[in-house]
Amino acid sequence: MTDLLPVPGALADERPGTQVPAAGETRPHGRRPARERLLAAAVELLEEHDEASVSTRAITDRAGVTAPTLYHHFGDRDSLLEAAASAHFEAVVAREESRSARTPVRGLEAAWDALLSYGVAYPQFFELLFGATRTGRTGLDLAERLVGRHFADLAACGGLAVAPEAAARSFLAANIGAALMLLADPGEGEDLAVSRASRDGILRSLLTSGGWQVDDGPAPYVSAAIALNATLQAANPQQLSEPEFALFLQWLDRLSTPAVPGHEDPAQLAATPEAQGPEAPSPHHDPAPRRGL
């Protein structure tokens, strides 16, 4: 398992012995703002205790502030703990993953290992962000940002068998599930080997390049449509008017979804009159300029 980096100094209390100023006094030079001290206190307490044991009183005492200060900055205890867990996650996982992210595939492998290591090393934070009983998307949003850029890069070069958003969701579902299983039933090194096998299996099901594509994968036009869609949106070509460009992207979206039994082929759907939209301009028609270009 990858060694985890310590939490950066921004989340660590650099002056634990500093006295809190009395009401009405100014904050001494170098003393961090109350919001930062609340975040640092929440991180420290989550490292020492499970979430249920971290009370509002314990946080405010550790930070040297009153409860109204906590409510002013975060609204309530749960929001503070979620913000603290998010900051901790970004500080640890983002730096860990970036050390070996040289290519999109290597970046995804590193992201898998970093997320798994984080879950095992910091279960309180991981369960706060990804636990099944929570309804917020904070943890998922952080994780999707972490892996999303790699899947977007793969899509742009024709390396994905599915749309990048669907690839990210499938990848994270397998990764978070593997981490939660390790937390529920900690094991030895063989569990990490199983996790790596799961990682490689999910990537083989999502990628097309480098010999990762499975034999019964989607038709070649699917990968081509995904790649062209991502490339066009990044390049923003000027040869098409806005309606033409939007219609072309709509067709590519349909082609990006492989046909399944009982459904019409996406290419045929795109050719139907209701899908064609505005009549295509004649060869002598000068397309209207697109706004903002």
CA neighbor of 218 nearest in space, from 166, 167, 250, 260: 260
User: Mean pLDDT throughout 210-229?
Assistant: 59
pLDDT of 62 over the 70 cut: yes
In the chain, where are the structural domains located?
Answer: 9-81, 101-206, 220-276
Please indicate whether residue 113 or residue 19 has the higher confidence score (pLDDT): 113
Residue 133 banded pLDDT, cuts 50, 70, 90:
low
Q: How far apart, in whole angstroms, are the C-alpha atoms of residue 242 and residue 246?
A: 6
Confidence of residue 138 (pLDDT cuts 50, 70, 90): confident
Closest CA to 111 of 193, 182, 187, 195: 195
pLDDT value of position 217: 47
Lowest mean pLDDT of 44-48, 120-124, 146-150, 267-271, name the range: 267-271
pLDDT at 198: 87
Cα end-to-end span (Å), the chain? 50
What is the pLDDT confidence band of residue 283, given thresholds at 50, 70 and 90? very low
Rounded CA-CA distance 137/34 in Å is 26
27-31, 178-182, 213-217: which range is least confident on average? 213-217
Please report the sign of the dihedral spanned by the C-alpha atoms of residue 49, residue 55, residue 57, residue 59. positive
Asked if pLDDT for residue 240 goes beyond 70, the answer is: yes
Please determine, for residue 173, whether its predicted confidence score (pLDDT) is greater than 70: yes
Name the fold adopted by 9-81: Arc Repressor Mutant, subunit A (1.10.10)
Q: Which residue has the higher pLDDT, 187 or 40?
A: 40
Query: What pLDDT score does 222 carry?
Result: 73
Task: Give the separation between CA 289 and CA 293, rounded to whole angstroms.
Answer: 7
> What mean pLDDT comes out for the span 213-218?
42
Cα distance between residue 199 and residue 207, in whole Å = 12
**Residue 20 burial class via C-beta count within 10 angstroms: exposed 0-12, middle 13-18, buried 19 and up:** middle
Mean pLDDT of 238-245: 84
Checking if the pLDDT of 281 tops 70, the result is no
Could you tell me the pTM of the whole model? Answer: 0.60
- State the average pLDDT over residues 40-65: 93
Residue 190's pLDDT is 52
Q: Is 133 exposed, middle or buried (0-12, 13-18, 19+ CB in 10 A)?
A: exposed
- Residue 130: what pLDDT? 86
pLDDT given for residue 132 in this prediction: 57
Choice among 41-55, 75-89, 245-259 with the minimum mean pLDDT: 245-259
